[in-house]
């Protein structure tokens, strides 16, 4: 049986949080389990931990401060994040990084919060789940300062250029691919790059509820992207890589288990 792990689900977003049980169960029916819930600020990270405790072995989470919220990082943030990150259901620090597309926080604040979280990940010997949009030069420079001390690092929702991909691979990053590749308007360059990602460094994700694959037919009635659509994204990726969907799914599943240190027997509620 082909299994999947969705490595980035914003399950506490306003568009999903009212249907959590249904979303988890529908994903499991499509053999997508467990789900990795993203913490985008410290309060949401705390709420994610509480949610994971209600769904043991079906949900795990990250804890961190997204660059959009970097302005909230203060002298108390490291201590609070340390306390959150050591909870049993937490599998990575993040989502942290840089976003110069939106600039919801000043760029200096973004760089400060990002570096602080990488430093903490090194101290705790935890992997990091990272975000980068239109900020590659600063992003890779900061990553390379800490990479040697990080046990593992993942750039989720990669949408960069060929040169940026190769710099990320040179830093031994895992690369997360979303339904962005299914967008005939924005995803053409990424579709050309997906075959270049080594099989031991690729992961699949929905970034739900965002980035609904535009090529899905029949088109879902709702604009929400859901974890249950992950097999479609993997199949689309496999066609680009000239692999069987089953082979790519197995590679992504193994990489996800290795990265988040999940036991591979966590195929619960997938029957």
- State both tokens at 32: 């997508």
Neighbours of 178 (CB within 10 A): 27
Confirm whether residue 156 is marked as ligand binding: yes
Confirm whether residue 207 is marked as ligand binding: yes
SS3 track for 63-115: ECCCHHHHHHCCCCHHHHHHHHHCCCCEEEEEEEEEECCCCCCCHHHHHHHHH
Confirm whether residue 131 is marked as ligand binding: yes
H or E stretch covering 203: strand 202-204
Confirm whether residue 164 is marked as ligand binding: no
Q: Give the Cα separation of 219 and 212 in Å (integer).
A: 10
Residues 6+ apart with CB under 8 A from 165: 158, 175, 193, 196, 197
Q: Which residues are annotated as part of the binding site for a divalent metal cation?
A: 95, 131, 156, 207
Question: Which residue ranges make up the annotated binding site?
Answer: 95, 131, 156, 207
């Amino acid at each position: 049986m082909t299994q999947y792990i969705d490595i980035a689900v914003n399950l506490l977003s306003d568009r999903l949080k009212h249907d959590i049980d249904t979303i988890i169960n529908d994903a499991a029916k499509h053999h997508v389990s467990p789900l990795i819930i993203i913490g985008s600020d410290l309060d949401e990270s705390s709420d994610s931990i509480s949610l994971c405790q209600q769904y043991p072995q079906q949900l795990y989470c990250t804890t961190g401060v997204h660059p959009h919220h970097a302005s909230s990082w203060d002298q108390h943030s490291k201590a609070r994040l340390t306390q959150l990150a050591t909870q049993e259901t937490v599998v990575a620090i993040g989502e942290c990084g840089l976003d110069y597309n939106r600039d919801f926080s000043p760029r200096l604040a973004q760089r400060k919060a990002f570096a602080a979280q990488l430093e903490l990940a090194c101290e705790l010997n935890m992997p990091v789940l990272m975000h980068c949009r239109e900020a590659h030069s600063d992003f890779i420079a900061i990553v390379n300062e800490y990479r040697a001390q990080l046990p593992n690092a993942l750039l989720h929702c990669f949408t960069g250029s060929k040169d940026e991909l190769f710099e990320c691979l040179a830093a031994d990053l895992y690369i997360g691919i979303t339904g962005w590749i299914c967008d005939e308007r924005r995803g053409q360059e990424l579709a050309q790059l997906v075959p270049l990602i080594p099989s031991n460094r690729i992961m699949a994700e929905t970034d739900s509820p965002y980035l609904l694959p535009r090529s899905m037919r029949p088109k879902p009635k709702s604009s929400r992207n859901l974890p249950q659509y992950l097999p479609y994204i993997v199949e689309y990726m496999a066609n680009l890589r000239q692999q069987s969907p089953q082979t790519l799914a197995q590679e992504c599943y193994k990489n996800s288990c290795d990265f988040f240190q999940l036991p591979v027997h966590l195929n619960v509620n997938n029957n």
